[in-house]
Structure 1
Amino acid sequence: MLQFIRNFAGSWVVKILFVLLILSFGIWGIGDVFRSTTPTTVAEVGKVEIGQQALDQEFRRQMERLRPMLGGNLTAEQAKRFGLLEQSLQSLIQRTLFDLAATDMGIAVGPEVVRMRIADEPAFRNQQGQFDPNAFRSALRNNQLTEDGYVAMIQRETARQLVAGAVSAGLTPPQPLVQDLYRYRGEKRVAEVVTLPNAAIGDVGAPDDATIKQAYDDHQVRFTAPEYRALTVARLSPDALAKDIKIDDAELRKAYEERANEFGAPEKRSIQMVVIDDEAKARQIAETAKTKGLAEAAKDAGVEPVTLDNIARTDLPEIGDAAFALEAGKTSDAIKSALGWHVIAVTGITPASTKSFEDVRDQLAAEMKKEQALDSVFSIANRVEDQLASGASLDEVAQAQGLVLSKVAAIDSTGKAPDGKDAAPDLPGLKALLPNAFQLKTGATSNLTEGRAAISPPSVSTA
């Protein structure tokens, strides 16, 4: 049989049969692999699809938020059992709903609003309570965010807040809920406490040597002193360098002119707005509102007005100019936009304001000094690393580069001195560097390390 197959394997008939067999496997077998797809959409909100990747990112972000509250021990499986996956999905759906509502209402957050929100963020301020661009950039780097990505996130969050404020305005909570909350917060209890004086215990006797030895073995950690080390710390701080930098008035005025939009707040308005598709109905509401007010006119027409508080002209694309041309208390005619027909009433106006050069002189000077100091820090840091790599001692490097040296006589791995107090209260950023310091051998010098208060680098002199 085998000889028969060998004799005819080279014939054209057999070759054609093999080709057909291979093609059939390709069409009916392998083709299924390429035709099959794995769905990646976990939810659809309107026309918006929420993907598996977005849910995974939100789930992990929620895990990182909860992990410190649970002692750092929270696995993905535990989080799923707690319902965190479902909560993450609901959070994404809710945000998407708000985004769609903001789009339907024509809400757009302009750059002025974003700039003001960033400037008001406490995490981006310096010790004087002023916005620090360097702190802003550092915070973005630490959270793995780009500036464009953060701005886009602020725009979305602000639009959601405007929508949420419009939805929740005027809502009254149910009376049973109010009563339950009041009882919970105002609840008081009476407790009885029994105190046993030491004299009531009586004579407990004296322990023998074996009992004392056993107590010592069971609680050795209470009788063990921690390891203490003496450190020499060299610091390179932008704040220290900034004190010696001088900025003349010409540079300050140039910076003020270039950044003038940062020192002014645009005009803000609070408005009521009706959006409908029917032009004739919109004109009727606008006409009735001139005598009865927009709220009553909308109610008569069976339409619910939307309230937008403290918004800028750029927050209202297409209709911003018309809204900001109205006087307070006046109602507009019917206005056409891509979303439909609008009728607008102005309920409040906050005038624009601008800070003078003298008002921001000190702020500008401090920021420009800080920027120049940071540039100097990087160049000095490079020279420090070169000298340390060449074998120079920390004292020699500090003297050559103008670093501030501090001595810590005795410190444990938690930052405490032998008396239990903070061993280095003047070096608040040192605690983060202690794990590295306690890995060094006696007399060794660590690499340059960036940290709070720009501390760099510790040298262990004794153990």
Structure 2
Amino acid sequence: MLTVFRNLIRSKVALVLIGLLILSLAVWGITDIFKPGLGASLVKAGNRTVEVSDVDRYANNFVRSQQNQGNDVTKQDLVQSGRLDQIINLLADRQLTAAYFDKLGISASDKAATQLVRSMDAARNEITGEFDVDTFRNLIAQQGYSETQFERAILDDLTFDLVENGISAALQPSDAISDLWNIYQAEARNIAFFITTPEDLPEAVDPPTDEELEAFYAESEAALTEPERRQFSVIALNETDFYHQVTIDDADLRNEYEAQQRRFSLPGTRTYEVARFDDPDRARQALGPLLGGNDFASVVTDGAARVEAPVTSEQSEISDQALAQAVFQSPVNVWSGPVQALDGRWALFRVTEEEAGEAIPFEDVKEEIRRELTSSRAQRMLTRAIDDIDDAVGAGLKVEEMADILGSPVFTYPPVDQRGRTKDGMLIRNLSTLEGALEYGFQLFPNETSDRREGEGTQYVIQLDKIVEPRIPELDEIREELRNALQIRRTQEAFAEFVEGIQERIDSGASSLTVEAEALDRSVERPPQAITRQSGAALGFSQSAVGQIFSAKLDEAFAAPLQSGLLIGTVEAIQVPDAQALENMRSETRANLVPVISNDLLRGLSSEAEKNIDYEINSQMIETYLSELQVTE
């Protein structure tokens, strides 16, 4: 079917059909699709947008970093947890605020952005230690950026830092704010508590009857429904699959070493002379005659510039990075420029002499050259294989037939849901981490083979072998599991009611913490020191328990969940810093409050930006994007 469509699209018939479609839309008045607007953008803020690719880049980088740390996270998990919504909101707010800065004329300089990029360790050549354009381009490509996108991101980062630093420098928190902050942070509470578990229930919870089990089964129908699962077969190829076919001998390595001798040398020196102009047009006018062979003194007769004394240096020794790069990229004995120097003037320069640096020994770079040659030759093999894949797909072949042509294995996986999990919950990582494979695979028809797809350097074709339809297990299949689940739920409900009774008796004065503990043959415990919001975790209390402790009033009972039960306690005393202590803490606190208040002010800037910038949210597109990733459990 796909082959028929591909051939049709290339034909004149397709052009006629598309023309008729456009005409029919116009006749029926459906013209909005040709009007400018949000289109496929998720958010528009001034002349800035948030695209699906922006969200994908951010989400993919986050998922990759989590998986590298051994965490089992997929993009679908981000949707389920609401994290992807947060990412969209974060990117939207960033673009809105950045658009407001654009309108106000607030921006970091291009020079600052250039200096930041050139200072990135990850963009340096590992041999010479110098900034390397190819390394830089590979770095940003791995992160999913184009050069233009990365440049804008860097400028935005610097601009946000500029604004935040400006706000922070002007902030001076008042004594009142400082005191409130210190009271909140330093408040300490003495508590008493005991721990109770469902085993303390005065009566055992009756097991569910068959009638109750049937009702629970009917009630849980949605939760019990097994999602649609699909079985896929995949052919996947990347550069590393061809490494074993690459043969490199010492002659190849030596030839490559000699061909790149300049690269595999320590920094050399260049002798150059410079003439500086106040006016860039005047510098350009002088460049032409100089390139024609005229003497500088005969070209510049009005004293607008003079040739400075020759300088000999390595590139890293020239403080003006723009000039340094130009000098070490220009030909020898040829006037070049103009280049804007650090002092704001415009420089013409000429390299008069070049001395190469000492060559790095062949043995020191031999393995690096081997890796690079292996990679480049394997990439060429992959390129040829891509052509074979496209021909096979165009011919309508199945993946098994493609495998014979490519000499590559077919990987057939058990049926999985849209997160890449089997019925038993096992994650098929090869599918879940193959970019776009699951999303695209769940759009295929039975026995359909996809076009060649690309995911993070891997070329693949995915074939849908079988669809396992959603189903609800019969009651008899899961009777015991359901019985246990219902028993646990009823026990939890009875336990919650039991604990509420204890709290009510303590709060009403009809009982006390000690009496209730003794009735359950438990002992009341008291931490050796008062608890603060910061020290709770160190004393063994969960974040939830600390929250309950500091939400309760004096002598009021509270309950906090534990893994196997509940902590029931009361607040026996509350201490806050006195006036002298608050005064002593103010100086340090002011410094800590500056970034907190600065962040609040930046959030306020976002609100102000929304009033001043044309801001649109494509809710339908966002919903569509999320629904395509949404998993029905």
If the length of structure 1 is used for normalisation, what is the TM-score?
A: 0.50
Number of residues of Structure 1 aligned to a counterpart in Structure 2: 319
Alignment map for 1:102-181 (pairs within 5 Å): 109=114, 113=118, 118-119=123-124, 135-136=138-139, 138-139=141-142, 142-143=144-145, 145=146, 147=147, 149=148
Distance of aligned partners of 1:151 and 1:75 in 2 relative to their CA distance in 1, 3 Å threshold: closer
1:457 to 433, 456, 461: 461
| Deviation larger for 110-119 or 230-239 | 110-119
Alignment map for 1:216-235 (pairs within 5 Å): 216-235=217-236
Aligned to 1:300: none
Deviation by residue 1:190-210 (Cα, 9 ceiling, x = unmatched): 675652323506244454555
Aligned to 1:380: 385
Deviation by residue 1:64-117 (Cα, 9 ceiling, x = unmatched): 5799895545899x999x987873356548994542xx87xxx79479926855
* CA contact 1:108–1:316 (8 Å) conserved in 2: no
Aligned to 1:246: 247
* CA contact 1:234–1:458 (8 Å) conserved in 2: yes
Query: What secondary structure is seen at the aligned counterpart in 2 of 1:411?
Result: coil
**In structure 1, C-alpha distance between the alignment counterparts of 2:268 and 2:211, rounded to whole Å:** 78
Alignment map for 1:205-220 (pairs within 5 Å): 205-208=206-209, 210-220=211-221
- The reply on whether 1:440 has 2:412 as its aligned counterpart is no
Aligned to 2:369: 364
One-letter identity of the residue aligned with 1:440: L
Aligned to 2:67: none
One-letter identity of the residue aligned with 1:118: A
Aligned to 1:17: none
* CA contact 2:431–2:437 (8 Å) conserved in 1: no
Q: 1:161: how far off? A: 11
1:391 to 392, 396, 406: 396
One-letter identity of the residue aligned with 2:97: Q
Aligned to 2:407: 402
* CA contact 1:236–1:377 (8 Å) conserved in 2: yes
Q: 1:222: how far off? A: 3.2
**In structure 2, C-alpha distance between the alignment counterparts of 1:154 and 1:353, rounded to whole Å:** 38
Q: 1:450: how far off? A: 0.8
* CA contact 2:453–2:461 (8 Å) conserved in 1: yes
RMSD between aligned residues: 5.7
* CA contact 2:231–2:415 (8 Å) conserved in 1: yes
One-letter identity of the residue aligned with 1:449: R
One-letter identity of the residue aligned with 2:247: K
* CA contact 2:253–2:370 (8 Å) conserved in 1: no
One-letter identity of the residue aligned with 1:87: T
Alignment map for 1:296-335 (pairs within 5 Å): 313-315=319-321
Aligned to 2:203: 202
Query: What secondary structure is seen at the aligned counterpart in 2 of 1:226?
Result: coil
Distance of aligned partners of 1:453 and 1:213 in 2 relative to their CA distance in 1, 3 Å threshold: farther
Distance of aligned partners of 1:153 and 1:233 in 2 relative to their CA distance in 1, 3 Å threshold: same
* CA contact 1:449–1:455 (8 Å) conserved in 2: yes
* CA contact 1:238–1:374 (8 Å) conserved in 2: yes
Query: What secondary structure is seen at the aligned counterpart in 2 of 1:235?
Result: strand
Aligned to 2:48: 57
Larger RCO (CA within 8 A; separation ≥ 6): 2
One-letter identity of the residue aligned with 1:374: Q
Distance of aligned partners of 1:108 and 1:59 in 2 relative to their CA distance in 1, 3 Å threshold: closer
* CA contact 1:242–1:370 (8 Å) conserved in 2: yes
Aligned to 2:64: none
Distance of aligned partners of 1:75 and 1:462 in 2 relative to their CA distance in 1, 3 Å threshold: closer
Distance of aligned partners of 1:354 and 1:208 in 2 relative to their CA distance in 1, 3 Å threshold: farther
**In structure 1, C-alpha distance between the alignment counterparts of 2:151 and 2:435, rounded to whole Å:** 35
**In structure 1, C-alpha distance between the alignment counterparts of 2:202 and 2:404, rounded to whole Å:** 65
Identity %: 16
Distance of aligned partners of 1:379 and 1:134 in 2 relative to their CA distance in 1, 3 Å threshold: farther
Query: What secondary structure is seen at the aligned counterpart in 2 of 1:410?
Result: coil
Q: 1:253: how far off? A: 0.9
If the length of structure 2 is used for normalisation, what is the TM-score?
A: 0.39
One-letter identity of the residue aligned with 1:213: E
One-letter identity of the residue aligned with 2:236: R
* CA contact 1:114–1:155 (8 Å) conserved in 2: no
Deviation by residue 1:212-242 (Cα, 9 ceiling, x = unmatched): 3332222113322333333222111111113
* CA contact 2:232–2:464 (8 Å) conserved in 1: yes
Deviation by residue 1:1-47 (Cα, 9 ceiling, x = unmatched): xxxxxxxxxxxxxxxxxxxxxxxxxxxxxxxxxxxxxxxxxxxxxxx
Distance of aligned partners of 1:182 and 1:109 in 2 relative to their CA distance in 1, 3 Å threshold: farther
Flag structure 1 segments of 5+ consecutive residues without an equivalent.
1-52, 122-130, 267-309, 322-335, 340-351
Distance of aligned partners of 1:160 and 1:462 in 2 relative to their CA distance in 1, 3 Å threshold: closer
Q: 1:139: how far off? A: 3.8
Flag structure 2 segments of 5+ consecutive residues without an equivalent.
1-43, 60-77, 127-133, 270-315, 328-341, 346-356, 468-633
**In structure 2, C-alpha distance between the alignment counterparts of 1:179 and 1:220, rounded to whole Å:** 55
| Deviation larger for 427-436 or 448-457 | 427-436
* CA contact 1:109–1:314 (8 Å) conserved in 2: no
* CA contact 1:59–1:84 (8 Å) conserved in 2: no
Q: 1:138: how far off? A: 3.9
**In structure 2, C-alpha distance between the alignment counterparts of 1:111 and 1:120, rounded to whole Å:** 16
Distance of aligned partners of 1:95 and 1:395 in 2 relative to their CA distance in 1, 3 Å threshold: farther
* CA contact 1:430–1:455 (8 Å) conserved in 2: no
* CA contact 2:257–2:369 (8 Å) conserved in 1: no
Deviation by residue 1:43-64 (Cα, 9 ceiling, x = unmatched): xxxxxxxxxx984417889x95
One-letter identity of the residue aligned with 1:214: A
Q: 1:137: how far off? A: 6.7
Distance of aligned partners of 1:113 and 1:84 in 2 relative to their CA distance in 1, 3 Å threshold: closer
One-letter identity of the residue aligned with 1:238: E
Deviation by residue 1:312-371 (Cα, 9 ceiling, x = unmatched): 5233769x99xxxxxxxxxxxxxx9557xxxxxxxxxxxx99965544433333233323
1:87 to 59, 79, 97: 97
- The reply on whether 1:420 has 2:411 as its aligned counterpart is no
**In structure 1, C-alpha distance between the alignment counterparts of 2:186 and 2:206, rounded to whole Å:** 49
**In structure 2, C-alpha distance between the alignment counterparts of 1:439 and 1:154, rounded to whole Å:** 34
One-letter identity of the residue aligned with 1:88: A
Distance of aligned partners of 1:162 and 1:449 in 2 relative to their CA distance in 1, 3 Å threshold: closer
Distance of aligned partners of 1:182 and 1:71 in 2 relative to their CA distance in 1, 3 Å threshold: same
Deviation by residue 1:276-329 (Cα, 9 ceiling, x = unmatched): xxxxxxxxxxxxxxxxxxxxxxxxxxxxxxxxxx995233769x99xxxxxxxx
**In structure 1, C-alpha distance between the alignment counterparts of 2:404 and 2:156, rounded to whole Å:** 50
Q: 1:393: how far off? A: 2.7
Query: What secondary structure is seen at the aligned counterpart in 1 of 2:261?
Result: helix
